[in-house]
Every structure is written in structure tokens, then in C-alpha cells.
């Protein structure tokens, strides 16, 4: 054997050893969490420890408000609301450290990389990869650490772009999502796939919720990247301060379903405790409660103390998709008597909160 052949054989052997070691490390990481740095101990005598990822956001704060007056939570549950300061969920080591510290029995997974239309269009790879990694770390840690129940939050943007209305839970994978946010949407869809896979292979109790348009206190009120209602509330605040008109993009004719954050919170907690099916569930007001953007804008103006004649619709701007109607029949079959907060009341509470917390609010 020539010297060159010996070198190649040695390199091949070294490569095989390296691959074997890498595979051993991969499978060790899969089933044996790495030892995290020492952290302050966490102890509770409660029966359940509920860990909420993304706990500082709109939905997390809604859940925090809901459980503050909930008897079951007070008696039997310890709730832990995580923020980015507690660790990077893109890091397996950080995620394992969080699970090892708090030893959750239940998890509500709200954390995600999110952004507006421009960001979703420009950074599709990052939105896909970051969310895939976050979701994989959380879901796998739930399996390894023996979490009894995981509820993850999806979005109506995961539904096919070309579809019929109303949309329901059976239609998630019927076609590709809108191209503008396909990175984010496909990453979220994979949660639904893995809920079933973990159930089939490991017997894990994992499911997901699909809310429609959420609004309420602690929202992101950024005008450019926020959602409809918080963006309108911020614009109304500025219009009131400046004495100028409140300009609304488009004709105001598109229809949307809105769910108040504390309604979503109550239904999310119900899902955690009582809904045990890997198939997702839409959490939304009914089809009959769709409202036009025009009506929403007028409610925001009224709640803000702006004269309605100062609301101007810029009809030269695009309206966007006319409707995205979601069916809540599955929810209503299981929760027939649940009463949603009327949107006018919810908008008033959201306006009052933003005006009182303008300096500290996300915007």
C-alpha cells in the first residue's frame, strides 16, 4: 500500500470515528439532558407546575391576569412565566436548564420568532430555522422531562392561501400557505405534525391552539409591525395628541374575527386542563361576530375620545385580503356556554390600558 493510500485510509477511519462520536453525542443529547450551570433552586408544594414560554407577551400576560383570580390555579398550580431573560430557547442547553430548574408538569408554549410582513418576506430562512429550533427544543424537553401536557400556540396564517371559507382544523395542510410568510407558517405547521408523532411514538399528551386576531393590554402597539387593533389604538393616541385626523389604510370593508387576550387566556387554560387530543382546536368568536375594519376603527376612535368625523379612510391604499373567516364549531361543541367579551368593551379596555401605560408599552 502506497503512502498516499495509507493517508487516505487513515483519513477515512478518522472520519468514521468522528461520525460515530457525533452520532453517539446526538443520541446522548436526545435522551440525556446536558448538565446545566448551577441555578437557584425552585421548589413548590403545588400539584402542578405550569411553565409558560413567551410569558411576557400579549397572551402570556392575559393568562397571568386570568389565573390571578382562578381558584384552581391558586389551590393546585404554580405558574412560571418565562421571558427572554430566562434563557435562549434556540439553545438546547438553555432549554434543558430551564426544564431542570422548574421541573414543569405542564407547558404552554407561546414563544416564537415573530415579525411584520416585511420581515417575514425578507428573512424567510431565519423565521423558519429559528422557530423550528425553538419548537424542537421545547417539545423534545417536554418528552425527556416527562411533561404531562404541552399546549402550543399556532396562527391562522398556517392555513392554505387558496382555500374555501370558513376554515376549520381539518384544512391546515390542504395547500401551501401564503408565500409572504411561508418560512414562519411551515415552521408552525410542523408543531401540528409533531403533536401527532409524539403521541403515536411516545404517548405524549401534546396539542395546539389556533387563535384568530388577538388584541388586548400588553400588545405590541407598533404602527408598522403591530396588528390591526393595537396599531389603530396607537394612531388614535397620536391623532388625539396632535389634533390631526385618524387615517386608516384602505376602505375599511375587510372583515375579521377578533378575540380579546383574556378570553384567549381562559380558553388556553381550559385547553391545558381539559382538552386532550393532538388535533388542533381553533379558539375564536363565531362567524357571526366578524366585524369590518371600518367598524373597528370607529370603535377605537370613540374609545379614544376622537370625533368620528376625524376618521379618514385612505381608499387609494390596498385593503388586503377581504376575509379569513374561521369556524369555531369544534370549540362550541365542547364549550357551548362560554361568553366572549364584546369587542366594543375589549377595545375600550385596550385603549384605556395603552393611554395609561404609553411610555412603557411596546411600540
Catalytic residues, by residue number, are 184
Contact 211, 279 (CB under 8 A): no
Burial string for 261-300 (b: 16+ CB within 10 Å, else e) reads: bbbbbbbbbbbbbebeebebbbbbbbbeebeebbebbbbb
H or E element, residue 102: helix 92-102
Separation CA 79–CA 46 (nearest Å): 10
Q: Count CB atoms within 10 A of the CB of residue 35.
A: 10
Contact 50, 80 (CB under 8 A): yes
The C-alpha angle 259, 262, 265, rounded to 5 degrees, equals 95
Contact 88, 94 (CB under 8 A): yes
Q: Count CB atoms within 10 A of the CB of residue 53.
A: 27
The C-alpha angle 207, 211, 215, rounded to 5 degrees, equals 140
H or E element, residue 163: none
Phi and psi (nearest 5°) for 326? Answer: -110, 145
Phi and psi (nearest 5°) for 362? Answer: -70, 125
In the numeric block, which cell numbers belong to residue 155? Answer: 396562527
Give the length of the chain: 363
Torsion, Cα 177 178 182 186, to 10 degrees, reads -10
Q: Name the β-bridge partners of 79.
A: 50
Separation CA 339–CA 285 (nearest Å): 9
3-state secondary structure of 129: helix
Separation CA 52–CA 167 (nearest Å): 28
Amino acid at each position: 500500500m502506497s503512502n498516499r493510500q495509507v493517508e487516505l485510509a487513515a483519513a477515512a477511519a478518522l472520519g468514521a470515528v468522528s461520525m460515530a462520536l457525533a452520532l453517539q453525542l446526538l443520541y446522548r443529547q436526545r435522551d440525556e439532558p446536558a448538565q446545566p450551570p448551577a441555578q437557584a433552586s425552585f421548589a413548590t408544594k403545588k400539584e402542578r407546575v405550569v411553565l409558560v414560554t413567551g410569558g411576557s407577551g400579549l397572551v402570556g400576560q392575559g393568562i397571568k391576569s386570568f389565573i390571578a383570580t382562578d381558584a384552581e390555579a391558586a389551590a393546585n398550580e404554580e405558574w412560571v412565566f418565562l421571558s427572554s431573560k430566562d434563557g435562549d430557547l434556540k439553545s438546547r442547553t438553555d432549554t434543558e436548564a430551564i426544564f431542570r430548574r422548574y421541573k414543569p408538569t405542564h407547558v404552554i408554549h407561546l414563544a416564537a420568532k415573530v415579525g411584520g410582513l416585511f420581515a417575514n418576506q425578507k428573512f424567510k430562512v431565519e423565521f423558519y430555522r429559528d422557530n423550528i429550533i425553538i419548537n424542537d427544543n421545547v417539545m423534545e424537553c417536554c418528552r425527556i422531562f416527562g411533561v404531562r401536557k404541552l399546549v402550543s400556540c399556532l396562527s391562522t396564517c398556517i392555513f392554505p392561501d387558496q382555500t374555501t371559507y370558513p376554515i376549520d382544523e381539518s384544512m391546515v395542510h390542504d395547500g401551501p400557505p401564503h408565500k409572504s410568510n411561508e418560512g414562519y407558517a411551515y415552521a408552525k405547521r410542523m408543531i401540528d405534525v409533531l403533536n401527532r408523532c409524539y403521541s403515536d411514538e411516545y404517548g405524549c399528551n401534546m396539542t395546539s391552539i389556533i387563535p384568530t386576531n388577538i388584541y388586548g393590554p400588553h400588545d405590541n402597539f407598533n404602527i408598522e409591525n403591530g396588528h390591526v387593533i393595537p396599531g389603530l389604538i396607537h394612531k388614535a393616541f397620536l391623532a388625539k395628541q396632535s389634533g390631526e385626523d385618524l387615517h386608516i389604510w384602505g376602505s375599511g370593508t375587510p372583515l375579521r374575527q377578533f378575540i380579546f387576550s383574556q378570553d384567549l387566556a381562559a380558553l388556553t387554560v381550559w385547553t391545558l386542563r381539559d382538552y386532550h387530543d393532538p388535533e388542533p382546536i381553533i379558539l375564536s368568536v363565531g362567524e357571526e361576530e366578524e366585524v369590518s375594519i371600518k367598524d373597528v376603527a370607529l370603535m377605537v376612535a370613540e374609545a379614544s375620545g376622537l370625533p368620528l368625523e376625524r376618521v379618514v379612510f385612505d381608499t387609494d391604499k390596498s385593503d388586503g385580503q377581504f376575509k379569513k373567516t374561521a369556524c369555531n364549531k369544534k370549540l362550541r361543541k365542547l364549550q357551548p356556554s362560554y361568553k366572549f367579551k364584546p369587542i366594543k368593551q375589549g377595545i375600550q379596555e385596550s385603549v384605556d390600558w395603552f393611554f395609561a401605560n404609553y411610555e412603557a408599552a411596546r411600540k
